[in-house]
Amino acid sequence: MIVAIDGPVGVGKSTVARAVAEQMGFLHIDTGAMYRALALRCLEEDLDPDDPQAMGEMAAFTQVRLEPSPRGPKVHLNSHDVTEAIRSPEVTALVSKVSAHPGLREIVVHRQRLMAEHGSVVMEGRDIGTVVFPRADVKIYLDASLDARVRRRAGDYEARGTPWSFEEIRQSVLARDDYDKNREVSPLRVADDALVVDTTELSFEEVVARIVKIIRDKIREKRSAEKKRKG
């Protein structure tokens, strides 16, 4: 079973996807972390983020591994633990640019498809329901007002000790949304058959419960279709 969760910056995809995966016993895959690890490599190696060939080659020769852990996947970049480093403001500022290159995306998407070959997954990102798994069993598009998203991001930043003002965070969220929605390859958009869940007025528990119910209904539906098919 493949559950695709897409949505803009700060909508809470990662925490929701992690809790849904835990309740269902599925593997949680944070695809944003994979793009962030590549953006970190670009910074570390002082590569040109505007050079499509350099970005494609860097992706091909960089190993990114997500290791499941109770507080969210641990991220390894060529065997170094970069779980914290990929959340830095420098990586956040660069990641949309790095992730917009078609050659780099092709490599990352291929790896994401392989990761779902061995069992059920909750995969979250920007293009999971539209490009990575257009035939996912369940597609959710999480959305929330800009204000709610900036407030949530501000909470994350405060917890991490990142000294950004509310206005700086707002500008960063707007800039990344704009980049992610308007890039040429795999822009963020709602898949035609996705269920849109607006989380602005919902609690975290309500969002998780709603998605878990959608998945359970889908499992039941698949089972009864299978029974009918077998006669």
Shortest Å, Cβ 112 to ligand DC: 8
The CB-of-7 to ligand DC minimum distance in angstroms stands at 9
**Calpha distance 172→103 (Å, rounded):** 25
Least CB distance to ligand DC at residue 120 (A): 19
Binding of residue 126 to ligand DC (CB under 6 A): yes
Provide, for the chain, the percentages of residues in helix, strand and coil under a 3-state DSSP scheme, each rounded to the nearest 5: 55, 15, 30
Interface with ligand DC (CB under 6 A), residue from 96, 130, 172, 199: 96
Cα–Cα distance measured from residue 139 to residue 153, given in angstroms and rounded to the nearest whole number: 24
According to DSSP, the β-strands at 64-67 and 74-77 are antiparallel
Which residues between 140 and 179 bind ligand DC (CB under 6 A)?
176
HSE (CB half, 13 Å, CA atoms) of 37? 25
Burial of 146-157, coded b for 16+ CB within 10 Å and e otherwise, reads eebbbebbbeeb
Establish if 180 lies at the interface with ligand DC (CB under 6 A): yes
Quick check: 27 and 166 in contact, CB under 8 A?
A: no
3-state secondary structure 39-50: HHHHHHCCCCCC
Rounded to the nearest whole angstrom, what is the least distance from the CB of residue 223 to ligand DC in the complex? 30
36 interacts with ligand DC by CB under 6 A: yes
Q: Which is nearer to ligand DC, 96 or 199 (CB)?
A: 96
**Residue with Cβ nearer ligand DC (24 or 75):** 75
- What six digits make up the tokens of 83? 């779980």
The window from 28-36, 56-64, 70-78, 208-216 that contacts ligand DC (CB under 6 A) reads 28-36
Q: What gap in Å lies between CA 188 and CA 105, rounded to an integer?
A: 13
CB 34 within 8 A of CB 108: yes
Which tokens hold the place of 204? 């975290």
Of 125, 130, 144, 157, the residue at the interface with ligand DC (CB under 6 A) is: 125
Residue 44 has a CB neighbour count (10 Å cut-off) of 13
Q: How many residues bind ligand DC (CB under 6 A)?
A: 14
Q: Is 18 in the site for ligand DC (CB under 6 A)?
A: no
Residue 73 touches ligand DC, criterion: CB under 6 A = no
Question: Cβ of residue 134: shortest distance to ligand DC, in angstroms?
Answer: 13
Q: Judged by CB under 6 A, does residue 139 bind ligand DC? A: no
Q: Give the N- to C-terminal CA distance of the chain in Å, as an integer.
A: 23
In angstroms, give the least distance from the CB of 196 to ligand DC: 17
Tell me if 16 contacts ligand DC by CB under 6 A: no
The site for ligand DC (CB under 6 A) is made up of 9, 31-32, 35-36, 95-96, 99, 125-128, 176, 180
